[in-house]
Amino acid sequence: MDNFINRIFSKKPSSADQARDRLRLVLINDRTDLSSEALESLKDDLLDVLSRYIKIDPKTMRIDITQEGRQQRLIADIPIAGPVSRKY
Amino acid sequence: MSAKVLTITSGKGGVGKTTATANIGAALAKRGQKVACIDADIGLRNLDVVMGLENRIVYDLVDAVEGRCRLNQAMIKDKHIPDLYLIPSAQTRDKTSISPSDMIRLCNELRSDLDWILIDSPAGIERGFKNAIAPADEIIVITNPAVSAVRDADRIIGIVEAEEKGSPRLLLNRLNPEMVKQNNMLSADDVVDLLAIHLLGIVPEDRAVLISTNKGTPIVLEEKSLAGQAYRNIAQRLLGEEVPLLDLDKGSGFFNRISRVFGSGEK
pLDDT digits (tens, 9 = 90+) for B244-255: 998 887 554 454
Inspect the interface and report whether the beta carbons of A20 and B158 lie closer than 8 Å.
no
Going from the C-alpha of B92 to that of each of A27, B41, B43, B45, B48, the distances in angstroms are 37, 11, 6, 9, 15
In a domain, A86, yes or no: yes
Chain B residues with beta carbon closer than 8 angstroms to that of A20: 186, 190, 194
In a domain, A12, yes or no: no
Task: Work out the average pLDDT over B215-228.
Answer: 96
In a domain, A80, yes or no: yes
Q: Residue B243: how many CB atoms within 10 A of its CB?
A: 13
For chain B, the domains span 4-243
Inspect the interface and report whether the beta carbons of A69 and B196 lie closer than 8 Å.
yes
Q: Residue A53: how many CB atoms within 10 A of its CB?
A: 11
Task: Work out the average pLDDT over B104-119.
Answer: 97
Domain count, chain A: 1
pLDDT at B266: 39
How many Cα atoms within 13 Å fall on the side-chain side of residue B53?
Answer: 28
Percent of chain B with pLDDT over 70: 93
B265, pLDDT greater than 50: no
- Distance in Å, alpha carbon of A83 to nearest chain B alpha carbon: 41
pLDDT at A37: 86
In a domain, A55, yes or no: yes
pLDDT at A10: 62
Identify the domain containing residue A56 by its residue range. Answer: 35-88
Q: Return the CATH fold of B4-243.
A: Rossmann fold (3.40.50)
B121, pLDDT greater than 50: yes
- Global pTM reads 0.86
In a domain, A67, yes or no: yes
Model confidence over A1-60: pLDDT tens digits?
455 555 556 668 899 999 999 999 899 889 998 888 888 898 899 999 998 999 988 888
pLDDT at A9: 60
pLDDT at A65: 85
Task: Work out the average pLDDT over B30-49.
Answer: 97
pLDDT at A63: 87
